[in-house]
C-alpha cells in the first residue's frame, strides 16, 4: 500500500485535533468543576443530575413551606393563648358576679370590663400576621370577625359575624323581646347561621410528596366554642349583671332554627349513564362529570368549593334532590336550571339538660312521631361528650330502624333537638321530664326558649370553652413538633441529595489536572513527531 504525503498530513492533523478536543474538554471540566456540562457527555449521568436537581429544588421549597408554617403556628399559638387569658379573666369575673353582695357600682365596673373583653376577643380573632389574617380560613385578606348591631323588636342586639355571616343569630337576647319578632329575625334567609361545613376551611401546606399539614386554626371548634363561646358567655354575663336589685333572678331568650337551601327533584341524573351538570353558587359555575355507576355525592365531595358550601345530593327514586348551606342552582347538561329555595325544617327543642340522667330499672321511653324508643337503664352524663353521644346514638338508631326521617342531635347548650330534614311535615315528641320534654310537643319551624341566667351554668360553659382552647393549644404544639421533625428530615435529605449530585456531576480535580498534563504531553509529542515525518515543502527549499 502506498502511503502518500497527504495521507500522513491528514492523519497527523486528525490526531492533533482529537488531542485538542480532549484538552478542551479537560480544561472545561477543570475550570467549571463539572464533569458533565451537556447530555452528550454522559446521557445516563445527565438524567441522574436532572432528577437530583429537581429533588433538591422541591425539598428546598418544602423547607421554606415548613419555615412559613412554623411561623404561622407560633403566631396562632400566641393569639390563642391571649384568648385563653381573656377567658380566664372572664371566669374570675363570673365567680365574682355570682356573689350576691355586689353593689350597683361593682356590677357597673364589672360590666365595663366585660365589654372591653368582648372587644378584645374580636380583636384577637382578627389577628394579622405578615399581611394575612390567622383565623380567616380561605379568605386571609379580609378581617373575619365583625361585631354588628341588629334591631329586633325595637331593641338593639349585638351579634358576631364571621366572613360576613352570622355565627349565632339565635344567641341570647333580652327576655322582653317579643317571640314573634325574634322568630321573624331568625327565619329571614339573610340571617342564616354559618354552618360547621362552611367553617371547615383547612389551610393545607405541602411539606413532602403527597404530605400535607393543616396549619390554620379555624373551623367549628375554635370559632364556635372558642371565640363565639366566649363572646356569648360574656353577653349572658352582661345580662346577669343588669339584673335589678329587687329581682331574685334574670333570664334570657335563645332561638333555634334548622334551615337549608333545597331543590325540587331533578330527573335524568341517576347513575345509569354518564352525567354532566353545572352547579352555580353566586358567580361561580362548577362543572361536574359523573361516570355511569359512580356515586354523584363522592364526585361532588372531591370539589373543595362545593364541599365547603355543604352541597349534598339525595336520590329520590330515579330523580335527585340537591341541598346546601347557601343559595345555588343545578343545571343538567342540555337542561334548564333548577334553583334551590330556602327551606325551614320542623324542629322540637327540649329544655337544657345538666348533670347525670339516671334511667330507672326498665328504662324510660320517648315517643317521636309515633316511634316509641326505650332508653335503657343506666347513667348518661350530659356534661361529657361521651354521655351526650351515648343518649343521642340510642335515639338515632331506633329512629333509623323504624324508617323515620327524623334526626336527633344535641344543641350547643345541651338540649335535645329533633329535626325532620326530609320534609316540612309537622311531628310531635313526648318524653319524660328527665329528657327535658315532658308533654306532647309539636314541631315548629322556629323555637324560642327562655332560660334562667345562672352563674353556675356560665362558669360551666367557660370551663368547656377553656378545655377546648387548651386542646387547640396542645394540637398546635403537636403540629409544631411534627414540622420540626420534618424540617430535620428534609435538611438531611437535601444534604444527601447534594452528596449524590456531587458524586455524579463534580470532577475529581487532582485526576483531571493529571489527565490534562498527560494529554498536554501527548499533544506536544505529536507535534514534535509530526514535524519530523512531514517532508519538506518547496517553500522550505525557497528559504
pTM for this predicted structure = 0.77
Residue 540 or residue 366, greater confidence:
366
Mean pLDDT of 222-249: 75
pLDDT confidence of residue 390: 94
Helical packing angle, 509-533 and 5-32, nearest 10°: 160
Q: Which of 343, 350, 471, 456 is closest to 411 using CA atoms?
A: 350
Residue whose cell numbers read 323588636:
153
The residue extents of the domains of the chain are 35-167+222-252+453-508, 275-342, 356-452
Which region among 92-101, 243-252, 328-337 has the lowest average model confidence (pLDDT)? Answer: 243-252
Residue 376 or residue 25, greater confidence:
376
Give residue 18's pLDDT band: very low, low, confident or very high (50, 70, 90).
Answer: confident
Q: Are 373 and 356 in contact (CB under 8 A)?
A: no
Residue 514 clears pLDDT 80, i.e. is over it: no
**Residues near 419 by beta carbon (within 8 Å), at least 6 away in sequence:** 258, 345, 346, 347, 406, 407, 408, 409
Residue 249 clears pLDDT 50, i.e. is over it: yes
pLDDT confidence of residue 331: 93
Domain 35-167+222-252+453-508, architecture per CATH? Up-down Bundle (1.20)
Residue 33 clears pLDDT 70, i.e. is over it: no
**Cα separation, 30 vs 140, whole angstroms:** 52
pLDDT, tens digit (0-9, with 9 covering 90-100), for 133-143:
888 877 788 88
pLDDT confidence of residue 1: 58
Which region among 94-108, 144-158, 165-179, 506-520 has the lowest average model confidence (pLDDT)? Answer: 506-520
Residue 542 clears pLDDT 60, i.e. is over it: no
Residue 225 clears pLDDT 80, i.e. is over it: no
CA 500 to chain centre: 38
Residue 2 clears pLDDT 60, i.e. is over it: yes
Mean pLDDT of 69-75: 91
**Cα separation, 445 vs 437, whole angstroms:** 17
Amino acid at each position: 500500500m502506498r502511503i502518500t504525503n497527504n495521507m500522513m498530513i491528514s492523519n497527523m492533523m486528525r490526531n492533533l485535533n482529537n488531542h485538542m478536543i480532549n484538552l478542551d474538554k479537560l480544561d472545561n471540566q477543570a475550570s467549571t468543576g463539572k464533569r458533565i456540562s451537556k447530555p452528550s457527555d454522559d446521557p445516563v449521568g445527565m438524567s441522574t443530575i436532572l432528577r437530583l436537581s429537581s429533588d433538591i429544588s422541591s425539598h428546598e421549597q418544602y423547607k421554606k413551606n415548613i419555615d412559613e408554617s412554623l411561623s404561622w403556628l407560633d403566631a396562632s399559638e400566641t393569639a390563642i393563648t391571649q384568648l385563653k387569658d381573656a377567658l380566664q379573666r372572664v371566669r374570675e369575673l363570673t365567680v365574682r358576679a355570682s356573689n350576691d353582695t355586689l353593689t350597683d357600682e361593682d356590677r357597673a365596673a364589672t360590666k365595663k370590663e366585660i365589654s372591653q373583653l368582648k372587644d378584645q376577643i374580636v380583636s384577637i380573632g382578627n389577628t394579622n400576621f405578615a399581611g394575612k389574617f390567622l383565623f380567616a380560613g380561605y379568605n386571609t385578606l379580609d378581617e373575619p370577625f365583625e361585631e354588628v348591631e341588629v334591631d329586633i323588636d325595637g331593641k338593639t342586639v349585638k351579634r358576631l359575624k364571621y366572613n360576613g355571616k352570622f355565627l349565632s343569630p339565635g344567641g341570647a337576647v333580652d327576655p322582653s323581646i317579643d317571640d314573634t319578632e325574634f322568630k321573624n329575625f331568625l327565619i329571614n334567609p339573610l340571617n342564616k347561621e354559618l354552618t360547621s361545613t362552611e367553617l371547615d376551611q383547612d389551610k393545607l401546606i405541602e411539606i413532602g410528596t403527597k404530605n400535607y399539614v393543616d396549619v390554620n386554626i379555624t373551623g367549628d371548634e375554635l370559632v364556635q366554642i372558642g371565640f363565639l363561646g366566649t363572646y356569648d358567655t360574656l353577653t349572658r354575663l352582661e345580662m346577669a349583671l343588669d339584673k335589678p336589685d329587687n329581682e331574685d333572678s334574670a333570664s334570657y331568650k335563645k332561638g333555634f332554627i334548622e334551615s337549608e337551601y333545597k331543590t325540587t327533584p331533578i330527573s335524568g341524573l341517576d347513575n345509569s349513564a354518564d352525567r354532566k351538570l353545572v352547579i352555580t353558587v353566586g358567580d361561580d359555575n362548577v362543572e361536574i362529570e359523573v361516570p355511569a355507576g359512580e356515586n354523584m355525592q363522592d364526585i361532588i365531595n372531591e370539589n373543595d368549593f362545593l364541599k365547603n358550601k355543604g352541597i349534598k345530593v339525595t336520590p329520590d327514586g330515579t330523580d335527585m334532590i340537591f341541598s346546601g348551606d347557601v343559595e345555588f342552582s343545578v343545571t343538567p347538561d342540555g337542561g334548564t336550571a333548577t334553583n334551590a329555595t330556602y327551606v325551614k325544617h320542623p324542629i322540637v327543642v327540649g329544655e337544657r339538660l345538666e348533670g347525670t340522667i339516671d334511667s330507672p330499672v326498665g328504662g324510660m321511653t320517648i315517643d317521636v312521631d309515633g316511634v316509641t324508643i326505650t332508653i335503657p337503664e343506666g347513667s348518661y352524663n350530659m356534661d361529657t361528650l361521651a354521655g351526650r353521644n351515648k343518649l343521642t346514638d340510642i335515639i338515632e338508631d331506633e329512629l333509623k330502624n323504624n324508617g323515620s326521617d327524623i334526626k336527633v342531635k344535641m344543641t350547643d347548650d345541651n338540649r335535645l333537638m329533633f329535626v325532620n330534614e326530609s320534609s316540612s311535615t309537622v311531628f310531635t315528641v313526648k318524653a319524660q321530664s328527665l329528657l327535658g320534654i315532658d308533654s306532647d310537643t309539636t314541631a315548629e319551624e322556629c323555637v324560642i326558649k327562655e332560660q334562667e341566667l345562672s352563674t353556675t351554668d356560665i362558669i360551666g360553659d367557660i370551663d368547656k370553652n377553656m378545655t377546648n382552647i387548651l386542646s387547640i393549644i396542645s394540637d398546635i404544639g403537636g403540629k409544631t413538633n411534627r414540622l420540626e421533625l420534618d424540617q430535620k428530615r428534609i435538611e438531611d435529605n437535601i444534604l444527601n441529595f447534594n452528596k449524590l449530585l456531587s458524586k455524579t456531576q463534580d470532577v475529581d480535580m487532582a485526576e483531571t489536572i493529571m489527565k490534562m498534563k498527560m494529554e498536554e504531553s501527548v499533544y506536544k509529542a505529536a507535534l514534535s513527531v509530526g514535524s519530523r515525518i512531514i517532508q519538506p515543502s518547496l517553500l522550505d527549499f525557497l528559504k
